Amino acid sequence: MLKRYRFARQTVRHLTAVNYGTFRGWVRHFLAQLEWVIGRLDRFVVVQPKSVKRLVFVCLGNINRSAFAEAVAGTLGAHACSLGLATTTGAPAFETAVTTAQRLGIDLLEHAATDLSDFSYRPGDLLLTMEIRHVHRLIENGIPAEAIALLGAWSNPRRLHLHDPALQSEDYFMTCFVLIHSATINLVGALRAGGSPCVRP
């Protein structure tokens, strides 16, 4: 019985690490799903394609998640950039981000981070965040709520909280990047179909 318990615990830990990064990542995912179910995230999971002129991907450091999303969007013909809420402008992509992106056919070697303080919002920007708390940070910094959306609303499967892969396993890096990859492809496809000026026809 004890062996079965230990095995089950190890299995749960492994699955959590691979799929959510950490237990905290799973908790934030669960809470995000709950907020979505009760309707608190409704305005952050839809876009108006014809009003979107530029995609701005947002995470904390702009060296993993948002850097990758920007690069994917670029390969799809979208006008895009990215930023970090607390980073050093000019910082390169994290090494594991570079190698994981390469496995998905995306090059991050030339990426340079941009801090929020060095970013200028302009009408037509759609800021796509990885986490709900990023939404709140942007609003606190004067970004209109209607210009913000959760990137994970377009991932397959839907993952409204895309937990930071920094310092996590290579397996979770891949999980996170695959979700971001699918979300970006689906979003750009929806924008193109909706006639958004931010995407080449």
Q: How many domains does the chain have?
A: 1
Q: Are 176 and 65 in contact (CB under 8 A)?
A: yes
Q: Is 4 a catalytic residue?
A: no
Domain contains 201: no
Q: Is 65 a catalytic residue?
A: yes
Which of 28, 65, 159, 198 does the annotation list as catalytic? Answer: 65
Sheet holding 148-150, edge to edge: 80-84, 54-59, 125-129, 148-150
Specify the CATH number for the domain of residue 111. 3.40.50.2300
Domain contains 92: yes
Q: Is 81 a catalytic residue?
A: no
Question: What are the pLDDT tens digits along the chain (201 aa)?
Answer: 656 546 445 655 756 777 888 889 999 999 999 999 999 999 999 999 999 999 999 999 999 999 999 999 999 999 999 999 999 999 999 999 999 999 999 999 999 999 999 999 999 999 999 999 999 999 999 999 999 999 999 999 999 999 999 989 999 999 999 999 999 999 999 999 999 999 987
User: In which domain, by residue range, is 125 found?
Assistant: 2-193
Q: What is the CA radius of gyration of the chain?
A: 17
Which residues 6+ apart lie within 8 Å of 51 measured at CB? 124
Domain contains 20: yes
Domain contains 199: no
Domain contains 11: yes
Q: Give the Å distances, CA to CA, from 108 to 83, 86, 102, 156.
A: 14, 19, 8, 23
